[in-house]
Every structure is written in structure tokens, then in C-alpha cells.
Amino acid sequence: MTEIINKYETIFIVDKDKTEEQTNEIVEKFKSLIASAGEIESVDVWGSRRLAYPINDKNEGFYALVNFSASPEFPKELDRIYGITDGIVRSIIVKKDEK
């Protein structure tokens, strides 16, 4: 039986109060986590941006976008790790349509 692999896109926002070194460590942590469970297609670090609305009394965050391929079970685990990681303000994982 062949293994099912889906394409995903995730964006996560790191708290702007973190130092540049801490922010880079968080981004690298998630890049290596995704690479260990799947295949990274592209990483686009948007940097500091203004949030659309205040989150936890903060108006800015550090954005990173990662496109990757992984098994269908992985996004649930990735979302769990986003939730328990200090410094992650918001995150989203979207399954991309196959075209």
C-alpha cells in the first residue's frame, strides 16, 4: 500500500517581544520539525509585520510561511506543538488543493 502524502501550507507568528536570536531559534525549530516529518518545499520569512488586530495586547509579530508535504497525521501534531511553544502568538495549517 502506498503512503498518502498531502501538501500543506503553514503560517506562524512569533511574539515580537522575543529577541532576534530567540525568534530565529523558534523558526529553525519548526523548520527542522517539519523537515523531520515531511519535505519542505519552500520557506518564506516575512519578518516583522503589523497584526490585523491586537492579540494579547500586541500589535506586531514576526511572520513565517512554510510550504511542505507530509502524511495526513502530521498537521495535528504540528498544531499541538505550536500550542505548547512559548512565543507562538498564532498559527494556521492549511491543506492545499491538488491541481
SS3 content of the chain, % helix, strand, coil (to 5): 30, 50, 20
- Tens of pLDDT, residue by residue over 38-59, are 999 999 999 999 999 999 899 9
Residue 1 falls inside a structural domain: no
Q: Is 25 helix (H, G, I), strand (E, B) or coil?
A: helix
Between CA 23 and CA 15 the distance in angstroms is 8
High-pLDDT (> 90) share of the chain, %: 89
Name the residue among 43, 20, 22 with its Cα closest to residue 31. 43
Residue 91 belongs to a domain: yes
In a domain? residue 71: yes
How far is it, in rounded angstroms, from Cα 11 to Cα 40? 13
CATH number of domain containing 22: 3.30.70.60
The percent of residues above 70 in pLDDT, for the chain, comes to 97
Enclosing domain of residue 76: 6-95
**Number of folded domains that form the chain:** 1
